């Protein structure tokens, strides 16, 4: 919804008041003894209030590291964000102190990870973990916090929430733990939720339950979601817009139906064509030859050029700029100059 | 043709399929205590399943975690003995095999597992890994083994000179090719593919699926494809069996199944597949609750606790797997009643 109404959406749109997150030219590298791994190399996107933006790509394309850079939760040691801005309601959070960041996380930006086990503390009951999240926001009294905790569990469709409060993570199934994480996130009332493959570890029928739940919560709270996934089905189901990443860069970005119906970048086209379908022919699947490039030794030109059936000399030599290919739809491909 | 009543399918001169699984159960006792252990109950991982796989054919086995599909593949690989029931390969029972007979069986039935990172020995060159089964079975001398390894690498789309490299030098998709090459080494009749592509990226997944089909077309090897992704199964399998809580609830030629889903659980599984197109949104059957514990499966039809079409008899009477349409079996009272 609402994409049609939103007129212009360029990556560099000035901080209009419905833009909650504006990431500009983000570069996060790993500095290793063997060399520099350019995992996120010039990523820009915006997220509007109440919008769901999908970030898709294959493993190693930098989508998770983009999220961790925004949260400023990079793995300690070698990884550093060396360039760019992350504007949260117009304020660059890359310049915040660790204490200020701690206030922002959970309150303004929250995150759901693939494995709910890593988000929950095994030695505390889920009631205690929920109460902590609620009390940090309200600072309120025990009785109100308790009532709100029960309410939070009810909102994520957990039956008999009063009893569940006393239970520990290991007493729950994966789907239920992921819902508890959802309850904790919601109780912090964040403006932005970053969901990093939240359903990848779940079975398909449980995945559908969870996606419906997330969608309902999103509509109730009007929070913006950055939805990271490798699954086009999930993107189609959940997102308003989608950004496709390849080798550390966003190569195409636009409204979901436009990108899916008329993908512009050859990588997006190939990726969509190679997914096995539930209808139509079962003949040979389309394949992309070769492997993604090493992030330590990136091609100078377009990163997809070595695997691209349309690549010419220019593609190999110069990285293409973002061309506008439709309303709020951009693609980094030299072939777009003609059209 | 006069006087001939039955025409045997090619490759099965005596009408016996490559693999026959008959009324197999696998129950694991749940015990408490070490000495004087008490048995608290039985986890019915696989409970009375039957199917066959013909030579050169693929059977897809679909279901969610805990439905017993991995236990089924372990039973077929002869890594576990069934509590009850029989499995035959080429007409011979596979139970109680010892010595050479067991080694023979291991040569005929191979496996490729989900995780390409854990299925290869990191300290062995991939050439050695692929040659391992050839060496163990005394397949030939050094030179002929080296030649066979080269051929296998060719077959799976790797370069012959990569035989001297170690697993860490390969990507996930390439490792899965190496695992496949070593499974193919002894020219098996059946390969158990346990989620062979689910750990791979989308673009690599398509390469691997095409490769598996090419190899099958050339070597007439049969596959038991254990997978949770229906679209993968649709592309690969000739027949598909759907499992729920240790039971096969529906079994049909893949095309027939995808054309006309009969069992409500299969319907729910199908509707949970998210079409990779935003405009193709379908009616969704969202199941409530989660898969019950196989320790204490529901009475009657095991799916009745979550079934949107549940009837009175479902909780009392266990439906049998019956042929509803030619070759299309389903275990559901909705279809047996009418």
CATH of the domain at B163: 3.40.50.300
Interface check A213 vs B, CB under 8 A: no
The model carries a pTM of 0.84
Q: Which of B121, B235, B232, B110 minimizes the C-alpha distance to B175?
A: B121
How many domains is chain B built from? 1
- Please tell me the predicted confidence (pLDDT) of residue A12: 41
Distance CA B2, CA A171 (A): 67
Q: Give DSSP secondary structure letters for B93-119.
A: E-TT--HHHHHHHHHHEEEE-S-TTTS
Residue A211 lies in a domain: no
Residue A339 lies in a domain: no
Residue A100 lies in a domain: no
Q: Which of A194, A189, A164, A163 minimizes the C-alpha distance to A177?
A: A164
User: How far is B201 from chain A, CA to nearest CA, in Å?
Assistant: 6
Q: Give DSSP secondary structure letters for B236-293.
A: H-SEEEEEETTEEEEEEEHHHHHH---SHHHHHHHHHSPPSSGGG-----PPPS-PPP
pLDDT over 80 (residue B12): no
Note the pLDDT tens digit of each residue in B200-259.
888 788 989 999 999 999 999 999 999 988 999 999 999 999 999 999 999 999 999 999
Using CB atoms, which residue from B210, B271, B274 is nearest to A287? B210
Contact B203 A58 (CB under 8 A): yes
Residue B282 lies in a domain: yes
Residues constituting chain A? 339
Mean pLDDT of chain B, nearest integer: 88
Q: Which of B254, B255, B272 minimizes the C-alpha distance to B264?
A: B272
- At A158 the three-state DSSP class reads coil
* Nearest chain A residue (CA) to B287: A205
- Please tell me the predicted confidence (pLDDT) of residue B124: 93
- Please tell me the predicted confidence (pLDDT) of residue A3: 41
pLDDT over 90 (residue B262): yes
Q: Give the number of other CB atoms < 10 A from CB of residue B124.
A: 14
Beta strands in B33-167 (DSSP E): 38-53, 58-62, 84-89, 92-93, 109-112
Q: Parallel, antiparallel, or unpaired for β B92-93 and B84-89?
A: antiparallel
User: Most B CBs within 10 Å: which of A172, A214, A233, as the mutation test of the B interface?
Assistant: A233
Cβ within 8 Å of B, A 281-320: 282, 284-288, 291
Edge-first strand listing for the sheet containing B38-53? B38-53, B19-32, B84-89, B92-93
Q: Parallel, antiparallel, or unpaired for β B19-32 and B84-89?
A: antiparallel
Using CB atoms, which residue from A233, A261, A287 is nearest to B273? A233
Given a contact cutoff of 8 angstroms between Cβ atoms, the answer to whether A196 and A118 are in contact is no
Contact B64 A204 (CB under 8 A): yes
**Greater pLDDT, B285 or A226:** A226
Residue A133 lies in a domain: yes
- Please tell me the predicted confidence (pLDDT) of residue A158: 86
3-state helix, strand, coil in chain B (%, to 5): 35, 25, 45
Distance CA A120, CA B212 (A): 40
Residue A9 lies in a domain: no
- Domain range for A124 is 115-189
Contact A278 B228 (CB under 8 A): no
Contact B64 A203 (CB under 8 A): yes
Interface check B232 vs A, CB under 8 A: yes
Torsion of CA A303, A309, A312, A317, to 10 degrees: 10
- Please tell me the predicted confidence (pLDDT) of residue A4: 40
Using CB atoms, which residue from A230, A236, A285 is nearest to B210? A285
What average pLDDT does the segment B283-302 reach? 84
Q: Give the number of other CB atoms < 10 A from CB of residue B192.
A: 24
- Please tell me the predicted confidence (pLDDT) of residue B274: 82
User: How far is A236 from chain B, CA to nearest CA, in Å?
Assistant: 4
- Please tell me the predicted confidence (pLDDT) of residue B247: 94
ipTM entry: 0.78
Distance CA B151, CA B163 (A): 11
User: How far is A66 from chain B, CA to nearest CA, in Å?
Assistant: 19
Beta strands in A197-248 (DSSP E): 224-229, 241-246
- Please tell me the predicted confidence (pLDDT) of residue B115: 84
Residue A120 lies in a domain: yes
Those residues with Cβ within 8 angstroms of residue B33's Cβ, 6 or more apart along the chain or in another chain: none
What average pLDDT does the segment B110-126 reach? 89
Partners of B109 in the β-ladder: B190
Residue B178 lies in a domain: yes
Interface check B273 vs A, CB under 8 A: yes
Percentage of chain B modeled with pLDDT above 70: 93
User: Most B CBs within 10 Å: which of A57, A205, A303, as the mutation test of the B interface?
Assistant: A205
User: Most A CBs within 10 Å: which of B277, B282, B305, as the mutation test of the A interface?
Assistant: B277
Structure tokens at A259: 């990108």
Distance CA B195, CA B147 (A): 30
* DSSP label of A338: T
Contact A233 B234 (CB under 8 A): no
Given a contact cutoff of 8 angstroms between Cβ atoms, the answer to whether A322 and A251 are in contact is no
How many domains is chain A built from? 1
User: How far is A60 from chain B, CA to nearest CA, in Å?
Assistant: 10
- Please tell me the predicted confidence (pLDDT) of residue B336: 76
- Domain range for B61 is 19-31+39-337
pLDDT over 70 (residue B330): yes
Residues of chain A with Cβ-Cβ distance to B199 below 8 Å are none
Which parts of chain A have pLDDT scores under 50? 1-15, 339
pLDDT over 90 (residue B14): no
* Nearest chain B residue (CA) to A270: B203
Q: Residue B280 — pLDDT band, cuts 50, 70, 90?
A: low
Given a contact cutoff of 8 angstroms between Cβ atoms, the answer to whether B263 and B332 are in contact is yes
User: How far is B5 from chain A, CA to nearest CA, in Å?
Assistant: 34
Residue B306 lies in a domain: yes
- Please tell me the predicted confidence (pLDDT) of residue A200: 84
Residues of chain B with Cβ-Cβ distance to A277 below 8 Å are 231, 276
**Greater pLDDT, B295 or A88:** A88
Note the pLDDT tens digit of each residue in B37-76.
777 788 889 999 999 999 999 999 999 888 899 899 999 9
Residues of chain A with Cβ-Cβ distance to B287 below 8 Å are 205, 209
Q: Give the number of other CB atoms < 10 A from CB of residue A242.
A: 27
């Amino acid at each position: 919804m609402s994409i049609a109404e939103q007129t212009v959406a360029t990556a560099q749109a000035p901080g209009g008041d419905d833009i909650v997150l504006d990431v500009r030219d983000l570069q996060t590298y790993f500095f290793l003894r063997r060399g520099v791994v350019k995992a996120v190399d010039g990523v820009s996107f915006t997220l509007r209030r109440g919008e769901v933006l999908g970030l898709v790509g294959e493993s190693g394309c930098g989508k998770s590291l983009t999220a961790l850079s925004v949260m400023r939760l990079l793995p300690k040691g070698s990884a550093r964000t060396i360039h760019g801005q992350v504007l949260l309601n117009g304020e660059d959070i890359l310049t915040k102190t660790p204490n200020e960041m701690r206030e922002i996380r959970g309150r303004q930006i929250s995150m759901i990870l693939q494995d709910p086990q890593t988000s929950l503390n095994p030695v505390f009951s889920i009631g205690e973990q929920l109460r902590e999240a609620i009390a940090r926001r309200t600072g309120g009294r025990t009785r109100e916090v308790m009532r709100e905790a029960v309410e939070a569990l009810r909102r994520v469709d957990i039956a008999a929430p009063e009893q569940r409060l006393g239970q520990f993570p290991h007493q729950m199934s994966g789907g239920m733990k992921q819902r508890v994480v959802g309850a904790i996130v919601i109780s912090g009332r964040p403006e932005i939720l970053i969901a990093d493959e939240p359903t990848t570890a779940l079975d398909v029928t449980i995945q559908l339950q969870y996606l419906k739940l997330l969608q309902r919560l999103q509509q109730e709270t009007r929070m913006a979601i950055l939805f990271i996934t490798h699954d086009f089905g999930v993107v189609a189901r959940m997102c308003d817009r989608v950004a496709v990443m390849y080798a550390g860069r966003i190569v195409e970005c636009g409204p979901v139906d436009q990108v899916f119906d008329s993908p512009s970048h050859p990588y997006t086209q190939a990726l969509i064509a190679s997914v096995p379908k539930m209808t139509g022919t079962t003949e040979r699947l389309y394949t992309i030859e070769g492997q993604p490039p090493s992030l330590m030794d990136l091609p100078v030109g377009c990163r997809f050029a070595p695997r691209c059936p349309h690549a010419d000399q220019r593609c190999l030599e110069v990285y293409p700029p973002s061309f506008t290919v439709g309303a709020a739809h951009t693609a980094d491909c030299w072939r777009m100059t003609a059209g | 043709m006069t006087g001939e009543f039955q025409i045997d399918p090619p490759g099965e001169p005596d009408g016996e399929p490559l693999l026959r699984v008959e009324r197999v159960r696998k129950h694991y006792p749940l015990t408490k205590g070490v000495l004087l252990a008490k048995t608290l109950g039985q986890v019915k991982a696989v409970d009375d399943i039957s199917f066959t796989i013909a030579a050169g054919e693929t059977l897809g086995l679909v279901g969610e975690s805990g439905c017993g599909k991995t236990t089924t593949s372990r039973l077929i690989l002869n890594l576990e003995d069934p509590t009850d029931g029989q499995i035959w390969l080429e007409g011979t029972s596979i139970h109680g095999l010892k010595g050479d007979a067991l080694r023979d069986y291991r040569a005929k039935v191979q496996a490729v597992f989900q995780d390409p990172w854990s299925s290869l020995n990191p300290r062995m060159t991939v050439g050695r890994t692929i040659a391992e089964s050839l060496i163990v079975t005394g397949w030939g001398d050094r030179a002929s083994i080296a030649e066979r390894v080269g051929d296998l690498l060719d077959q799976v789309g790797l370069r012959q000179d990569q035989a001297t490299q170690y697993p860490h030098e390969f990507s996930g998709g390439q490792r899965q090719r190496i695992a496949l090459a070593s499974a193919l080494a002894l020219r098996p009749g059946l390969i158990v593919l346990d989620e062979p592509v689910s750990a791979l990226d989308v673009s690599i997944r398509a390469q691997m699926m095409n490769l598996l089909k090419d190899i099958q077309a050339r070597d007439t090897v049969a596959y038991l494809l254990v997978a949770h992704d229906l679209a993968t199964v649709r592309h690969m399998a000739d027949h598909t069996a759907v499992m729920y809580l240790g039971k096969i609830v529906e079994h049909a030629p893949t095309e027939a199944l995808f054309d006309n889903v009969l069992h409500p659980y299969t319907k729910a599984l199908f509707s949970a597949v998210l079409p990779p197109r935003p405009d193709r949104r379908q009616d969704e059957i969202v199941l409530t609750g989660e898969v019950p514990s196989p320790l204490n499966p529901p009475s009657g039809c095991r799916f009745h606790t979550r079934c949107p079409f549940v009837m009175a008899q479902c909780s009392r009477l266990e439906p049998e797997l019956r042929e509803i349409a030619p070759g299309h079996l389903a275990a559901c009272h909705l279809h047996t009643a009418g």
